[in-house]
Amino acid sequence: MGFSDSFFASRFALTRGDLESYLAEALSQSGDYADLYFEYLSTSQISIDESIVKSATQGVSLGVGVRVIAGERTGYAYSDDLSPEKIRQAAHVAACIAAGPAKVEKTPLEEGRRRNLYPVLTAPNETAVLDRMELVKRADAAARTYDPRVFQVQATYADSLRHVMVATSAGVLSFDRQPLARISVAALAKQNGAAPQRGYSGGGGRVELSYFLEDKTPEHFAREAARQAIVQLDAVEAPAGETTVVLGPGWPGILLHEAVGHGLEADFNRKKVSAFSDRIGQQVASPLCTVIDDGTMSHRRGSLNVDDEGNPTQRNVLIENGILRGYLQDQLSSRILSAAPTGNGRRESYAHIPMPRMTNTFMLAGESNPEDIIRSVPKGIYCASFGGGQVDITSGNFVFSASESYLIEDGKLTRPVRNATLIGNGPEALRHVSMVGSDLQLDEGIGICGKEGQSVPVGVGIPTIKIDRMTVGGTA
């Protein structure tokens, strides 16, 4: 498909000449680099509560963001009006903000090589609303019939279809069509007058609606949410103190994402505020740990054909056998650090400036049998799922709440525990990894990452791993 056949050319009559003139305006006050990010986003969301569809919304947003880089300065302006005068005005404002002594000539635009990591012919929000509404009704019914102790269910279906076009002064012209859909289910259960307990599950990806009918159905997520809530009814309070912690496969990779992944984003490292700053080539983790960020995985929630700066995403080895190999780069950081972009420049929307962000971040599988890992622990905690958490990038210190965890006693999983909080330091925790399982799993597809007020979809993953020493907050 040529540029004349693209979404923005056909819908808004944008030509290659138009783009080049806007880039020229962006560089009119001198600058090293400029880009244009066009976005058309359609969204929908359907929610059910108390077995009643309480809300169903649809919306459309569109606009363009113009960025100019001059040294370490960035000028950014955006418009939700795609008329030529408004785009040119945004380009002029960005140019004035970043005005500098240097000036480069823009390169004529050429389309980059296209690929399709998520070949979706019909995006979910292009299907009938009633078909999507049926998904949340099925989820609600499945959770309620799982166990009579489940008394409240909330189910939400959300989807979006994003068309993007990126044009840069380096001569790169990129397009992408990005479908995204997910289902999430929350269930509350109670017994014998005790406090209600909550379970949560969900998933999706860059998929067609058939994914929720054939692969991971609403019933799958609903039963998992209900199961978690029921398990918590018989849970005991978590013991406090330093102990051995075993992380289960899949979603517990959120700890890796938060405690380690953010510290490997290049903006924190060029500012030297990360626990990993100036440590490339050094041992920062156990030799058993290899950490990957991969934006090229088919249909995954965190995947992109091109990032939000027009660079192809790729598979990046961040930590290899415990050795720090590199950082996640965006255009600005890569220019300052004289490093190649890694396809990790991301933004929430046209109204936001791009920055280095993760895509799908996970630890590679090891050689240990997951059952042997648990058998090797005389006393400890097994964490199967997590809720929220916080991390301090500079120190690497983190606090995470485990939403489903169990005591390990004499090498066996015994009683479920509640209110377990993991307290530790990202680099230090990785150094204490003594066993890595052969059972790498990625999460089901619900991850949302926040940074500096921007949210983007991400994926996480991890095999079963054993961390010899970690502080668990609970009851004394």
Helix axes 129-146, 218-233, angle to 10 degrees: 30
Give pLDDT, residue 5: 67
Give pLDDT, residue 108: 87
Class of domain 3-233: alpha beta
Could you give the CA distance from residue 470 to residue 408 in angstroms, rounded to a whole number? 14
Give pLDDT, residue 103: 66
Where in the chain are all domains bearing CATH 3.30.2290.10? 3-233
Could you give the CA distance from residue 171 to residue 336 in angstroms, rounded to a whole number? 20
Beta-strand relationship, 73-79 and 110-111: unpaired
Give pLDDT, residue 143: 98
Beta-strand relationship, 345-346 and 355-356: antiparallel
User: Tens digit of pLDDT per residue, the chain (476 long)?
Assistant: 567 668 998 898 899 999 999 999 999 998 899 999 999 999 999 999 999 999 999 999 999 999 999 989 999 999 999 999 999 999 999 999 988 766 677 788 888 888 999 999 899 999 999 999 999 999 999 999 999 999 999 999 999 999 999 999 999 999 999 999 999 999 999 999 889 999 999 999 999 999 999 999 999 999 999 999 999 999 999 999 999 999 999 999 999 998 899 999 999 999 999 999 999 999 999 999 999 999 999 999 999 999 999 999 999 999 999 999 999 999 999 999 999 999 999 999 999 999 999 999 999 999 999 999 999 999 999 999 998 788 899 999 999 999 999 999 999 999 999 999 999 999 999 999 999 999 999 999 999 999 999 999 999 999 999 999 999 987 65
Distance from chain centroid for Cα 76: 24
Q: Which residue from 165, 141, 162, 154 is spatially nearest to 188, judged by alpha carbons?
A: 154
